[in-house]
Structure 1
Amino acid sequence: MAKKRIGLIGFLHESNTFISELTTYEHFRSDFLLEGDAFLERMSGTHHETAGFISRLEAAVDEIEIVPILFARAMPYGTICASAYEKITSRIIELLTAALPLDGLLLAPHGATVSQDYRDADGHWMSMVRNVVGSDVPLVATLDPHGNLSKKMAAACNALVAYRSNPHLDQFQVGVEAANLLIDTLRGDIQPTMAIATPAIAINIQKQESTVPPCLPLYQLADSQLAVEGVLSNSIMLGFPYADVAEMGSAFIVVTNNDLDLAERCATELADFLATHRDGFKAELEPMKTTLEQSAQLEGPICLLDMGDNTGGGSPADSTILLHACDKLGLHNMFVCIYDPAVVVQASESEIGDLLSVSVGGKTDNDHGEPWCGEVKLVGLYDGKFHEPQPRHGGATHCDQGATAVLRHESGITIMVTSRRQPPFSLKQLTTFDVDPADFHILIAKGVNAPIAAYEPVCQHLLRVNTAGSTTADLDQLDYQHRRRPMFPFEDSTER
């Protein structure tokens, strides 16, 4: 019997539409833009969902031929410029067409991708793929739960499966799950049948950690549904509030074995639970100063989660708001990582031990603080490459934040300056470059939930800080033009 040919495509970008800067083709080229065998070589052995695809398909080598097509990913940032989106999607279609015939496809979109021309960019390119292969070829896709699910995405696929943990530690396993669904479909063992529910409710990013309330009981309900005969998979889409699109908000996906009524009932049950408990998913924010004063009284190390400059949510990574606030309150035994290529260049022209007069951060725009200025000692220069062996948010194993300098002020403030934006998903970002977390009372991590997996083992406390910026947790500060109305918590709505 001829082997089944399974195509693999990944195109991931978390697009923050509240950032003025655009994501360009160069952003993808400098992160991941892989074709054919290079896709397999680079992603195999990582913790990413595409590695899960590959691992499961390789285990079925007697019946499956893997056809890697294209993998593109750029660090979360602004809307994708039209030319970059056109170039990538055109290449996907070109390579896909050349790879035909295929018996099935595994896709790895993000779910919160926005381009200048297509606000539902994931729905657009997934529909293009469906049009090329036709309606008879089964197509299974993974999603980041920080996506905004559209009907177009669902219509393009036989099944959608989202990561189940936040921080995202299960990406590999979800890739395996998606591959299993496709293999079982091709064998004729199942007939995936999917329903979605899209309540007009936005879950605040502050409330999206999956292992604690309010999300925990929602996930427990979802887990209980998996014990129901006929339910193959279910997913909770937490939503991404920093993409101003019509689909912004929470959603639920249920996949059954040829039972649409069951899928619809289960999806509705999850949506009803969220609607009933919706008040618990609103932000509970306190002034930044209050949180910092609290941190001064607590035993360290303390991780201060800088919600307004959440690099993994597309922010610039150069906010100085929290740095200035800590400095002003005398909280000097602290560490922060800031993106500032110009300062890295300045440091690289100096010698270790030199004193430098620097102006760090606050340069991308006017929304993330003024540059922090001071005389600092250059204590280290590095290439910025590090390896994370454990599953961490994002699924990466090999990371590159570009040329890196570590600077120390006489007060005790330590600043790691990078030439590439790098989310704080791994403690190896510190320890590889001779920074010991135990040396500090305060560690600033530019994120909300994603850094928890890395920082919780070494910190006595993790405190979310209500900072301003392009990923502010105060959603009333964002000027939405495209979201649904009415929508909770902005307006009173229980619409589904």
Structure 2
Amino acid sequence: MTSLRIGIAGIAIESSTFSPHRSTVADFRITRGRDLLARYDFLAGELVEGIEWVPLMHAVSLPGGPVTAQAYAELSDEIFVRLRQARPLDGLFFDIHGAMSVLGRTDAEADLIEGIRAITGPELLVSASMDLHGNVSRRLAIALDLITCYRKAPHTDAWDTRERAIRNLVRRLRSGGRPGKAWVQVPVLLPGEKTSTRLEPARSVYAKVDEVEATDGVLDAAIWVGYAWADEPRCQAAVVVTGDNRAVITAKAAELARAYWDARSDFAFVAPTGTLAECVRQAVASPARPFYISDCGDNPTAGGAGDTSWTLSELLHSPEIVDSERTTLYAAIVDPVAVAAAVAAGVGADVWVELGGHVDAGPCGPVALRAKVDAVDLGDPVAGTAVVLVVGGLHIIATSRRKPYHLEADFTVLGLNPRKADLVIVKIGYLEPELYDMAADWLLALTPGGVDQDLLRLGHHRIDRPMFPFDPDMADPDLSPELLA
């Protein structure tokens, strides 16, 4: 069997252009060499026989604000240098998210792959794996040979998608020939909390992807929701169907695009919604425990700064939360200065802090409070240091670095028991699987922040128009796919 040399590289982050946070190199976890190969534990059998995998560099970050130009240059330049050293390659696995925004750029992933192509030439076969909340511009679609994305939200199939992208690449390298790509954008821009595949219509729309992929002449099919919290022309839904039968992939891409467009008005929030005050009142009155509330406007897994303090201020002024025997957990707010003060004071001490609102000060600004230091964890691999500050019945988790709270262990390591709590309020959008299974009931609070669910009040001005829901009465668009070589 002819030996293949396949490189692995990528930069993966979801970036809200409405967040004042700035993502630097320090925000990324960078892997190289054996550590990068170990990232893909499915590399076995036909995926290693006769293949030399060449780890270049991969950088991944928690979603945040735009990447600084300096950080992008540093990360991309390392990929380019390593790529020059690794030549010749037969193929490249391009492991990205698809919603990276870089200050001064409007299509960062297309810039990155075009920079790679400038080094390797056009012959290199490239396969990309993406998040379904990524964006697929025409430039990006042209520069890639194979492209696929997740089919589930929450993303329980993330690693299955990467494996599919790699298997498609290996098989195509061995069989020869470049597949065709039928690409079409759909002028719809919706948040992930309205397009979860847990419920209709996304469940049925995404079920069609599997049906299309099983069609003769089709290699892969994908629908991207797009990323709602960046203000760039590429931000909208997209469809790509890949295969060797040009007529079939074009027809199937049109079919998927039409299904998504026709369902546009049926997409609804994944949970009942309300203002924070409405959600708190309902949670307090309900017998369901634990009752979860999503503080979705500052969700760090969508790009929120993580230090928006508006919700915290509202909770501190809510007697049913603070002046109560109920236990309410709030996770979390990032503030390295306040955390350092709590650590210095020590467990059991009272501490005065001005918490949050230093990065994203728009909705509120820092909140002054006196709290008891209830717990300290100095070694959290994501949060750095995490502390619990208690004000009456409210237990506030504060961290020195941004961290999403998705797992029961995130709470229990701090001595908190979310299963025994009355209310658990988390900076999150749709609940991740472990919290979803734990919640006796759940509401989505429409709170302010860099990933505000109210897209109309965010102020997009660079997206292509007309676009649903910004232009609800727009005429039906031309959804004819373009066949890309």
Q: Given residue 160 of structure 1, which amino acid in structure 2 is its aligned partner?
A: I
Aligned residue for 2:483?
none
Query: In 2, Cα distance between the equivalents of 1:328 and 1:351?
Result: 26
Is the contact made by 2:289 and 2:421 (CA closer than 8 Å) also made in structure 1? Answer: yes
Is the contact made by 1:209 and 1:215 (CA closer than 8 Å) also made in structure 2? Answer: yes
Query: In 1, Cα distance between the equivalents of 2:64 and 2:354?
Result: 23
Query: In 2, Cα distance between the equivalents of 1:173 and 1:327?
Result: 43
Question: In structure 2, which of residues 261, 264, 270 is the aligned counterpart of residue 275 of structure 1?
Answer: 261
Structure 2: gaps (5+ residues)? 480-485
Is the contact made by 2:19 and 2:360 (CA closer than 8 Å) also made in structure 1? Answer: no
Is it true that 1:352 corresponds to 2:341 in the alignment? no
Deviation at 1:190, TM superposition (A): 7.2
Once the two structures are superposed, residues 75-118 of structure 1 have per-residue CA deviations (whole angstroms, 9 ceiling, x without a partner) of 22221111211121122111101100111110112111111232
Deviation at 1:21, TM superposition (A): 3.4
Aligned residue for 2:452?
472
* Correspondences of 1:246-325 after superposition (within 5 Å): 246-256=233-243, 258-281=244-267, 286-298=274-286, 299-325=288-314
Query: In 2, Cα distance between the equivalents of 1:429 and 1:467?
Result: 23
Once the two structures are superposed, residues 382-402 of structure 1 have per-residue CA deviations (whole angstroms, 9 ceiling, x without a partner) of 1242xxxxxxxxxxxxx5210
Is the contact made by 1:318 and 1:368 (CA closer than 8 Å) also made in structure 2? Answer: no
Once the two structures are superposed, residues 34-88 of structure 1 have per-residue CA deviations (whole angstroms, 9 ceiling, x without a partner) of 33334234x2xxxxxxx2xx52356533311110001112222221111211121
Is the contact made by 1:384 and 1:418 (CA closer than 8 Å) also made in structure 2? Answer: no
Is the contact made by 2:241 and 2:249 (CA closer than 8 Å) also made in structure 1? Answer: yes
Bigger shift: 338-347 or 128-137? Answer: 128-137
Q: Given residue 156 of structure 1, which amino acid in structure 2 is its aligned partner?
A: A
Question: In structure 2, which of residues 88, 94, 117 is the aligned counterpart of residue 101 of structure 1?
Answer: 88
- Give the secondary structure class of the aligned counterpart of 2:456: helix
Is the contact made by 1:104 and 1:139 (CA closer than 8 Å) also made in structure 2? Answer: yes
Question: In structure 2, which of residues 355, 363, 369 is the aligned counterpart of residue 374 of structure 1?
Answer: 369
Query: In 2, Cα distance between the equivalents of 1:214 and 1:360?
Result: 40
Query: In 1, Cα distance between the equivalents of 2:314 and 2:248?
Result: 52
Aligned residue for 1:396?
none
TM-score w.r.t. the length of structure 1 is 0.89
Once the two structures are superposed, residues 182-222 of structure 1 have per-residue CA deviations (whole angstroms, 9 ceiling, x without a partner) of 11101107753221221111123331211212311111222
Query: In 1, Cα distance between the equivalents of 2:420 and 2:394?
Result: 11
Query: In 2, Cα distance between the equivalents of 1:72 and 1:124?
Result: 16
Is it true that 1:457 corresponds to 2:437 in the alignment? yes
Aligned residue for 1:35?
32
Q: Given residue 364 of structure 1, which amino acid in structure 2 is its aligned partner?
A: V
Deviation at 1:240, TM superposition (A): 0.7
Q: Given residue 121 of structure 1, which amino acid in structure 2 is its aligned partner?
A: A
Is the contact made by 1:58 and 1:64 (CA closer than 8 Å) also made in structure 2? Answer: no
Query: In 2, Cα distance between the equivalents of 1:477 and 1:58?
Result: 51
Query: In 1, Cα distance between the equivalents of 2:212 and 2:35?
Result: 39
Query: In 1, Cα distance between the equivalents of 2:16 and 2:301?
Result: 10
Structure 1: gaps (5+ residues)? 44-50, 386-398
TM-score w.r.t. the length of structure 2 is 0.91
Q: Given residue 323 of structure 1, which amino acid in structure 2 is its aligned partner?
A: L
What CA RMSD, in Å, does the superposition of the two structures yield over aligned residues? 1.9
Bigger shift: 335-344 or 355-364? Answer: 355-364
% identical equivalent positions: 27
Is it true that 1:231 corresponds to 2:218 in the alignment? yes
Cα 1:454–1:319 change in 2 (3 A) is farther
Aligned residue for 2:410?
429
* Correspondences of 1:334-413 after superposition (within 5 Å): 334-336=328-330, 337-385=332-380, 399-409=381-391, 411-413=392-394
